[in-house]
């Protein structure tokens, strides 16, 4: 019985993480890949070879990255925080996203000539939105798929 419950919980975690990963990927494609692309290109310092050509492997890498972020949120939501509503997931995802993006972006700005102050702020805001959307969807799936 315990094994069946563990397998079901793992299935629930994987479904929520997969849904969150797809949400994050689509958000990134629309927000970073379309809406902010020109802005970020004009407000970040460009170096030859900085950006890679788009390939299938690169898209797969973005999916893996989004899955890891969604899995982190799903584990926190289901095992420690009992978050299973979209609003709670959105708020918690936004908090995680803000802190993670702030930490990473400030570290990059401190150590590299890549961001301007404006592009750093925009990236933190956009990244927070992506984590919020991912969190909302992960929590929604966790709330719908019952133990």
Write down the pLDDT at residue 147: 65
Nearest to 126 by CA among 140, 115, 142: 115
Give the global pTM.
Answer: 0.91
**What is the C-alpha to C-alpha distance for residues 5 and 8, in angstroms, rounded to an integer?**
5
Mapped onto helix, strand or coil, the DSSP state of residue 47 is coil
Query: How many structural domains does the chain have?
Result: 1
Do the Cβ atoms of 20 and 138 come closer than 8 Å?
yes
112-124 tens-digit pLDDT: 988 889 999 999 9
Give me the domain span that covers residue 79: 2-144
Mapped onto helix, strand or coil, the DSSP state of residue 92 is helix
14-48 tens-digit pLDDT: 999 999 999 999 999 999 999 999 999 898 888 88
Could you tell me which residues are beta bridge partners of residue 115?
44
**What is the C-alpha to C-alpha distance for residues 69 and 49, in angstroms, rounded to an integer?**
27
Mapped onto helix, strand or coil, the DSSP state of residue 115 is strand
45-96 tens-digit pLDDT: 888 888 888 899 999 999 999 999 999 999 999 999 999 999 999 999 999 9
Write down the pLDDT at residue 46: 81
Write down the pLDDT at residue 45: 83
């Amino acid at each position: 019985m315990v094994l069946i419950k563990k397998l079901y919980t793992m299935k629930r975690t994987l479904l929520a993480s997969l849904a969150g990963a797809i949400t994050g990927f689509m958000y990134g494609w629309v927000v970073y890949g379309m809406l902010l692309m020109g802005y970020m290109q004009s407000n970040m310092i460009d170096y030859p070879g900085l950006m890679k050509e788009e390939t299938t492997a690169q898209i797969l890498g973005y999916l893996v990255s989004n899955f890891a972020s969604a899995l982190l949120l799903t584990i926190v939501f289901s095992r420690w925080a009992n978050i299973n509503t979209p609003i709670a997931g959105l708020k918690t995802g936004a908090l995680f996203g803000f802190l993670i993006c702030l930490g990473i972006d400030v570290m990059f700005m401190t150590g590299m000539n890549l961001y301007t102050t404006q592009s750093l702020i925009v990236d933190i805001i956009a990244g927070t939105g992506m984590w919020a959307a991912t969190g909302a969807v992960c929590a929604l799936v966790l709330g719908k798929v019952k133990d």
